[in-house]
Amino acid sequence: MPRFSIIVPSHGVAGRLGQALDSVLAQSFGDFELIPVCDAPDSPAAEVAARHAERDSRVAPVHAPPPEGLAGARNAGMRAATGTYLLFLDGDDVLVPGALGALDARLAETGQVDVLHFEHERVPWWEGETTNPAAPLLANTPDGAFAPERAPHHTGVRLPAWSAAWRRAFAAEQCLAFPRGHFTDVGWAGLAMLGAERVAVLRAVVVRHQARRQGSRLNLPGGHHADLLDQVELVLSRAADLEVPPARTGPLFEQLFATVLKTAAHRRLTTGRRAFFRRASALYRRHHPAGYRPPGGSPGVQHRLLAAGSYPAFAALRAARRGVSRAVAAVPRPRGLRTRLWYRAQLRRPLDANLAVYCAYWGRGYTCNPAAIHAKARELAPHIRSVFLVEADQAHTVPEGVEYAVIGSHRYWEVLARAKYLVNNANFAEGVVKRPGSVHLQTQHGTPLKTMGVDQSTYPVVAATTGSFGKLLGRVDRWDYNLSSNPHSTRVWERAFPGTYEQLEYGYPRNDVYLTATADDVARIRAELGVPEGARAVLYAPTHRDHHTGFEPGLDLEAFCAAAGEDVVVLLRAHYFYDRGGRGYGGRVVDVTAHRSSEDVCLAADALITDYSSIMFDYAVLDRPIVVYADDWDVYRETRGVCFDLMDGPPGPVARTPDELARVFRDGSYAGAESAALRARFRERFCAFDDGRAAERVVRRVLLGEPPEALPPVIPLAERVPAPAAATTPVRS
């Protein structure tokens, strides 16, 4: 029997779950079992848990459906637990180093106790002082093990469930389970302390609680705040059944109703405030302990108003305390006084429910996910007028029949002000206002290998060029939906761009063509790009390096062609930062950087060479050979930061020198069985949702408002048929 069973619910925190599990596995005290609780075997968190289980036999994942909530997840973990003591750890929190050793030592001192409370740190998500809110609550408790009546103010209801160790046999004897609904910690802790006979505290930090940028879910607006009253009623009813003396029920009553009154006065209670107050008043009168005297000052006034059921007076007091003034959000201003006035005037006009605005790569043209969604919207939602935003020098890239607006023009600001739907693969300008009722879809433009968003803050070279992370997150706050192409991306976006948006695991619309293009399409594109018939077209797509000031190919392409084989032709596609082309290549090297469609270029290529570009994830959808040229992996990893170790799971052979790279093409191993096996594992991990119907799912969900269950299901990977490579394409005369 392990000393500790550590239960880690993971719903909604897959991006941080790995850190939580690592903090447990890194403990010097090793007598534990670790039980991650995941939504389903195919959920993003389940993949993280499975990888940890492969590494360490003490990790034993279990599953609990999302509708069961936090309470159901913890209860599922308890059913699987076999340890002497239960510990609960939220999936976005961590154990501090030495935590389990300190708990074991304290339990050796106190002997068997039912509950051992301990301190925790609250770490602001970005800036601010770390606090220890549990320390003052534990300060005046006895030093050794004690009966609860010796410390009646130590009720447990002001501490989260993950700030204590709970004896498993005690929980079973008391038939303890986390009550359904929100505020489940209040019900659990209150019931546990009412049944406990021996309690102790550890005045040391065990858990580091990492605050979410979005804040606690319990503080969000919504009707779930009524659940607090359910938990209060549950605890106070149990206290009455047990005939707990007033000396203990008085502090319990006061602490519970302090939370109730705070909620009743808070802006998060957006609806049903009067009904909440009325029910709280009835509970107050029903469970008022004999001889209980309310506190002094303003809290005492609120107690008396609640006891009297006087909601009008309570509402007046609340209004007086909040004041009559509220900060008016300043309208961000585009450049130019006349433009600012024009934009502000347009913002006063009603939203156009049938207007959608699209933009890609800060206006670099009609391309990527926004273009694919735009095309599908014209088919499935023709009633919605679509306008694509482009820079003036890219207007020629917009296909005939597609309405567009030049960035910076009055028309640009007009459509941005009035469109209900805004779709982008980067971010709209700083001055764009998120209007109530508008819908912002962030499509992203690649699967992340390198660090993104706020994860970049610890890499000085990148952070210096990123700009204000505060402004970045202000733009993130405009997102309603964020598109993901695989579970890995879902986890990274959650951590790198913390916000309140909904993740759409639909795949990348731009990749649909990899499943719908035909052999004729491939032949046509190759001819357009100038690929000779019978040639092996190798796409070379290096990524941008933040520590370089311009494009550096990193490889002598003419020498590579000469060494790789006489039939090899290289298609060079530099990062889109350098998309103007014109690098002077000729012969067997074709510069396709300026070609409007990276999808066309990928379809034309028989194989891909890249270093760390996200194009590898898209190209993998085609199930064609990929070679990683990693001549500076260690430098890139240290200066840019990465989300995972590519060298541990590459999509194909890894070459570190030009000679190695040429050899894998010369001897054919780039397309051999070992390469195919690596690619299959890579595809399973990173091509989960790209099945050719991503754009349809996006349009139906976002523009047509169809429910998730009505959308086309993802086609299993084994059943997909990618566009044929030129090697299988008959030569046309």
* Tens digit of each residue's pLDDT (9 = 90 or more) over 338-358: 787 889 899 999 999 999 999
CA distance 222 to 728: 57
More confident residue, 243 or 129: 243
Among 263-277, 319-333, 367-381, name the one with the lowest average pLDDT. Answer: 319-333
pLDDT exceeds cutoff 70 at 586:
no
- Bridge-based pairing state of the strands 404-406 and 419-424: unpaired
At how many degrees (to 10) do helices 311-322 and 246-265 cross?
A: 60
Closest CA to 572 of 559, 586, 563, 562: 586
The amino acid at 729:
T
Q: Mean pLDDT throughout 246-274?
A: 88
- Mean pLDDT lowest for which of 293-297, 417-421, 542-546? 542-546
Contacts of 263 (CB under 8 A, 6+ apart): 225, 228, 269, 276
Number of residues assigned to the chain? 733
Instruction: Give the containing element (helix H, strand E) for 484.
Output: strand 481-484
Chain centroid offset of residue 487 CA? 10
Write down the pLDDT at residue 146: 97
State the Cα–Cα distance between residues 723 and 729, nearest whole angstrom.
Answer: 10
Q: Enumerate the β-bridge partners of residue 165.
A: 87, 116
- For residue 683, the SS3 value is helix
Here the tokens at position 480 are 């309603």
- Please state, for a pLDDT cut of 70, what percent of the chain lies above it: 91
Q: Could you report the per-residue pLDDT of 48-105, keeping only the tens digit for each?
A: 999 999 999 999 999 988 778 899 999 999 999 999 999 999 988 999 999 999 999 9
Query: What are the start-end ranges of the H helices in 62-149?
Result: 69-80, 99-110, 135-138
**Is pLDDT above 80 for 461?**
no
In whole angstroms, give the CA distance from residue 657 to residue 228.
Answer: 63
Which residue would you say has higher pLDDT here, 332 or 32? 32
Could you tell me the pLDDT band of residue 318, with boundaries at 50, 70 and 90?
A: confident
pLDDT of residue 329: 37
- Which is more confident, 393 or 25? 25
Question: Over 60: is that where the pLDDT of 307 sits?
Answer: yes
User: Can you name the residues that pair with 479 across neighbouring β-strands?
Assistant: none
729 pLDDT higher than 50: no
Q: Quick one: tokens of 525?
A: 């594109």
Task: Identify the pLDDT of residue 341.
Answer: 84
Contact status, residue 495 vs residue 16, Cβ threshold 8 Å:
yes
Residue 240: what pLDDT? 95
- What is the average pLDDT score of the chain? 89
Q: Using CB atoms within 10 A of its CB, is residue 266 exposed (0-12), middle (13-18) or buried (19+)?
A: middle
Residues forming beta bridges with residue 730, ordered by sequence position: none
Which residues does 674 contact at the CB level (< 8 Å), separation at least 6? 653
Q: Which two tokens stand for residue 40?
A: 């389903």
Distance CA 121, CA 119 (A): 7
pLDDT of residue 317: 74
237 contacts: CB under 8 Å, gap ≥ 6: 287
Average pLDDT of span 279-296: 92
pLDDT greater than 70 at residue 381:
yes
**Rounded distance, CA 173 to CA 415, Å?**
64
Whole-number Å distance between alpha carbons of 375 and 696: 10
Do 519 and 728 form a contact (C-beta atoms < 8 A)? Answer: yes
Least confidently predicted of 164-168, 254-258, 426-430, 534-538: 426-430
* 508: its two tokens: 């990348």
Q: Which helix (H) or strand (E) holds 390?
A: strand 385-390
> Alpha-carbon distance 573 to 344, whole Å?
41
Whether 668 and 474 have beta carbons less than 8 Å apart is answered as no
Rounded average pLDDT over 718-726: 94
Whether 123 shows a pLDDT value over 70: the answer reads: yes
Q: How far is residue 126's CA from residue 357's CA, in Å, rounded to a whole number?
A: 32
Residue 21 has pLDDT above 50, yes or no: yes
Contacting residues for 356 by C-beta, under 8 A, at least 6 apart: 374, 377, 384, 385, 386, 387, 419, 420, 421, 422, 423, 703
Residue whose structure tokens are 């008391």: 174
Query: For position 599, what pLDDT does the model report?
Result: 95
Q: What percentage of residues in the chain have a pLDDT greater than 90?
A: 69
- Label residue 688 exposed, middle or buried (CB < 10 Å: 0-12, 13-18, 19+): buried
Q: How far apart are CA 161 and CA 176, in angstroms?
A: 13
pLDDT tens per residue, range 206-224: 999 988 776 676 666 677 7
Quick: pLDDT tens for 680-697.
999 999 999 999 999 999
Q: Letter for the amino acid at 680?
A: A
Confidence of residue 495 (pLDDT cuts 50, 70, 90): confident
Torsion angle of the four alpha carbons 616, 619, 623, 629, in this order, in degrees rounded to the nearest 10: -40
pLDDT for res 334: 57
> 594 falls in which pLDDT band (50, 70, 90)?
confident
Q: How far apart are CA 222 and CA 205, in angstroms?
A: 33
User: What number of CA atoms fall less than 13 Å from residue 229's CA on the CB side?
Assistant: 19
Placement of tokens 């567009």 in the chain: 404
Alpha-carbon torsion 244, 249, 252, 257, what sign?
positive
**CA–CA distance, 654 with 382 (Å, rounded to integer):** 47
Q: Is the pLDDT at 550 greater than 80, yes or no?
A: no
Q: Which residue has the higher pLDDT, 380 or 634?
A: 380
Instruction: Report the distance separating Cα 569 and Cα 565, nearest Å.
Output: 9
Half-sphere exposure of 356 (CA within 13 A, CB side): 26
* pLDDT over 50 at 581, yes or no: no
Residue 478: both structure tokens together: 């405009």
Candidates 446, 484, 522; CA nearest to 714 is 484
Question: For residues 529 and 550, what is the distance between their CA atoms, to the nearest angstrom?
Answer: 25
Say which residue the tokens 């890609």 belong to. 360
Closest by CA to 359, choosing from 392, 393, 404, 328, is 404
Name the E strands within 407-450.
419-424, 439-442
